[in-house]
Structure 1
């Protein structure tokens, strides 16, 4: 792929994430809809991860299509996971700053560790011929394909088994205007 792809692929991912996030903004959330959208994002990430790993080098332009799918999957999983956090925190505001802060901290630390590992193995490649095409199984390719796909599968299983409280609006006990 050309050097410009190092900037273009992430840009496509971010733009697609933004578009899907804006679309999801108008969604009325319920516990089953949160699980459904989260699982849809996980499935898209699993398919994208497999595409990253199995994509032959000569079909590098397909990566642009995969980046669109990754952008949609990122938005689906991020928006719904933050909504699930909100449902789990509920109306008790005493510990919500700790919950959101600690989750953000863990996210930043895990991304930093993953980036460090990927950068430390940059350049180590094992090429294996397969039916006349070369598949490069680099640590970067496996790290950007299999790891997110496996994490998406695990998170979809966890989200599916979660017992989220019903988020439908309850009628008011007392009228607002007396």
Structure 2
């Protein structure tokens, strides 16, 4: 039997996450969408805490809120064209979005109704979760860890190549207006 207070707090954070994510998607103002993404990221981190995944929750806050969201906000706010143009999004892809939503919903419902083991385990983890993650990353999963670092390095080199300044006044392969 679960504590009703924990259940109420869980549903509060789930509602915050879903409502702010919906506002991110359906808002026509990009700055409002970016600030709503802040609440979405914090809501997801809170849900990770309820799943006893403290390391992933802290990583969520540090990486997504502290890094990616702040970078996104600075990029939006320091762009000249963003401040001088109307930031309304006129494109609304309802049909592809609805098909993707229905496919995802069908997959989630199928998984929910065909899985029998939704009850928490009786065994408790011993030791620190962070210590275990570090041990597994540097022992059994060292090859996938290194492959991910090579992939991120290639993406960084590609981004630097696309963002470099050409002498002709163009950036990367795209033309400036």
TM-score in same-fold range (> 0.5):
no
More strand by share: 1
Q: Which protein is bigger by CA-based radius of gyration?
A: 2
TM-score normalised by the shorter chain: which range applies? 0.3 to 0.5
Greater RCO, 1 or 2 (C-alpha within 8 Å, sep 6+): 1
